[in-house]
């Protein structure tokens, strides 16, 4: 598996890879971000911005200031400034411009890690939702999405509105890249990416398996820990048989 890294969070990513290697995935290669300095992609990125969560409509006619923002973002490696991108279109953009030879790249199982926010449109609810990952080619993992995409319990939002300090909330919730549970959560999502390439299915219905598709942060914290197990029996045997 080739992991295309966000240089700003290289320490976190390396910590997650240490988990993967401990689980038996040794064939992992780190490569630099493929879009850094690619300012010619500015217009393409501006065009896939999500305009409104309630509309399946992207930014087909970017404004000059939006183009300027995107080019600056790419030239200075300043992703994650609050803009939300259509995740499947983000993956398609990378596929067209960065991975034109899809056949050879498929064998390498590329995973692109970014600080950008990504979302996909939920047809049943007729709205966009933030995602921590888009399982396509290449797989995209959003680092802020790991924290912000899974819904938190009502108590969290009430506590936040009452002005309870974030440091206090951190003790109960996964908040921020400095949380010691973050690298383990990222490792589990990278494991989902590996299974996506290996079997075509990144998820598992077992809530204790690292492949569980968590929609709530509580579910994420239950799935992304080493107890009672890292993988259910089915996925453990697949991993052992392929790694």
For the ranges 86-95, 106-115, 120-129, 172-181, the one whose mean pLDDT is highest: 86-95
Q: What is the pLDDT of residue 175?
A: 65
Q: Is the pLDDT of residue 238 over 70?
A: yes
Q: Which of 48-52, 55-59, 186-190 has the lowest mean pLDDT?
A: 55-59
Percent of the chain with pLDDT over 90: 51
Are 40 and 13 contacting, i.e. CB atoms less than 8 angstroms apart? no
- At residue 34, does pLDDT exceed 70? yes
2-242 carries CATH number 3.40.390.10 = yes
Lowest mean pLDDT among 20-29, 130-139, 146-155, 222-231: 146-155
**DSSP output for 47-87:** TTBB--TTS--B-SS--HHHHHHHHHHHHHT---SS-EEEH
Q: How far apart, in Å, are the Cα atoms of 10 and each of 4, 13, 15, 182, 216? A: 10, 5, 9, 13, 26
Every domain of the chain and the residues it spans: 2-242
Predicted confidence (pLDDT) per residue in 137-148, tens digit? 999 999 999 988
Highest mean pLDDT among 71-85, 93-107, 128-142: 128-142
63-72, 85-94, 151-160: range with lowest mean pLDDT:
151-160
Tell me how many degrees the CA angle 189-179-174 measures, rounded to the nearest 5. 70
Q: In terms of pTM, does the model score above 0.85? A: yes
- Looking at every residue in the chain, the average pLDDT score rounds to 88
Q: Which of 30-39, 50-59, 103-112, 188-197 ranks highest by mean pLDDT?
A: 188-197
């Amino acid at each position: 598996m080739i992991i295309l890294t966000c240089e700003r969070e290289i320490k976190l990513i390396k910590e997650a890879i240490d988990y993967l290697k401990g689980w038996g995935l040794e064939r992992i290669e780190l490569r630099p971000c493929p879009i850094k300095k690619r300012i010619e992609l500015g217009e393409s990125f501006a065009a896939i911005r999500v305009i409104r969560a309630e509309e399946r409509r992207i930014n087909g006619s970017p404004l000059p200031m939006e183009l300027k923002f995107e080019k600056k973002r790419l030239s200075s490696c300043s992703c994650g400034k609050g803009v939300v991108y259509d995740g499947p279109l983000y993956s398609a953009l990378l596929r067209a411009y960065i991975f034109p030879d899809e056949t050879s790249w498929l064998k390498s199982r590329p995973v692109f890690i970014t600080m950008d926010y990504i979302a996909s449109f939920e047809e049943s609810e007729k709205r966009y939702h933030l995602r921590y990952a888009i399982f396509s080619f290449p797989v995209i993992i959003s680092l802020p999405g790991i924290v912000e995409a899974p819904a938190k319990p009502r108590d969290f939002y009430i506590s936040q509105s009452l002005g309870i300090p974030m440091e206090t909330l951190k003790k109960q919730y996964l908040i921020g890249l400095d949380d010691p549970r973050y690298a383990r959560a990222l490792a589990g999502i990278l494991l989902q990416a590996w299974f996506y390439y290996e079997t075509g299915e990144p998820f598992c219905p077992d809530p204790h398996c690292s492949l569980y598709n968590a929609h709530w942060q509580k579910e994420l914290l239950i799935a992304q820990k080493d107890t009672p197990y890292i993988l259910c029996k089915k996925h453990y045997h697949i991993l052992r048989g392929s790694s």
